[in-house]
Amino acid sequence: MQDHGRRHTVRLLSDPQDLRSGDILFLISCTRILPPSLLQNYRKALVCHASDLPKGRGWSPWVWDVLRGAPEICVTLLEAAEEVDSRPIWFKERFRLQGHELADEIQLRLFQTELRLMDRAVEEFETIHPQPQTSEGASFYPRRRPEDSRIDPHATLAQSFDAIRIADPVRYPAFFDYRGYRYRIRLEKVGPVQAAVEVDPPTSADREPHEAKAAP
């Protein structure tokens, strides 16, 4: 996006009330549904949604997908409208998961993917042919609540690992209730496990004391 900033006027806004007009409005991590009175001031209003639409419409789709064992995350760039995640699709891009990524690592991958999709939208703005969505195969995810980060204290760590690693450590940290108290879980990745090094067992000669020899 830095290159586009040299050729276009780019503004970063966090409050919808500051919106004016322009060619493209990108809605990134926007938790509000903007009214047509704001969207119509732009030639196109586009939103990034982390699911393979029309599957996974709604809220926090990548979180729900990881909890269901999805091996990859799809990010869709589509046109924004009051009817959530239902407008024509511009592009999709996928990235694979290894099964160990924490929430912040996945969010970084999402942001990098969103930047590439926005770059592509700017480059192909005049030639793009958006693909209309159908309702066939559509699904909808509900908004996640703090209660969704509850961990069963009687489950094994392996059973709870995905729920712990994708929990937002700031807004919705993983937690569990046990013996009359509530506990929050903060998961930190230290690094890859080093492969074990095999060492031959000591021989009888290694165990025998060595005699000191005086130099001649």
Give the start-end residues of each E strand in 50-113: 57-58, 72-79, 89-96
26 and 85 inside one domain: yes
d(CA 159, CA 171): 23
50 and 75 inside one domain: yes
Farthest CA pair distance, the chain? 100
136 and 152 inside one domain: no
Enumerate residues 6+ apart whose C-beta is below 8 A from 17: none
- Is the pLDDT at 212 greater than 70? The verdict is no
In a domain, 175, yes or no: yes
For the residues 76-104, what does the mean pLDDT come to?
94
pLDDT at 201: 60
d(CA 48, CA 81): 12
Render pLDDT for 168-195 as a digit per residue (tens, 0 to 9).
988 899 999 999 999 999 999 999 988 7
116 and 162 inside one domain: no
Closest CA to 79 of 49, 56, 55, 107: 49
93 and 176 inside one domain: no
Antiparallel, parallel or unpaired: β 57-58 and 140-141: parallel
Residue 12, domain CATH: 3.40.50.170
DSSP characters over 136-190: TT--EEPPP-GGGGB--TTS-HHHHHHHHHTS-TTTS-EEEEETTEEEEE-----
Amino acid at 110: L
- Is the pLDDT at 215 greater than 50? The verdict is no
Q: Give this prediction's pTM.
A: 0.82
Alpha helices of 56-98 — where are they, by DSSP H? 61-67
Q: What percent of the chain has pLDDT over 70?
A: 87
What would the two tokens of residue 11 be?
């503004």
15 and 84 inside one domain: yes
Lowest mean pLDDT among 4-18, 63-77, 142-156: 4-18
DSSP 8-state code for residue 116: H
For the chain, what is the domain count? 2
pLDDT at 73: 98
Residue 167, domain CATH: 3.10.25.20
Look at 208 and 121; give whichever has higher pLDDT: 121
- pLDDT band for position 204 (cuts 50, 70, 90): low
In a domain, 31, yes or no: yes
Sign of torsion over alpha carbons 9, 12, 17, 23? positive
- Residue 105 belongs to what domain range? 2-141
d(CA 172, CA 149): 6
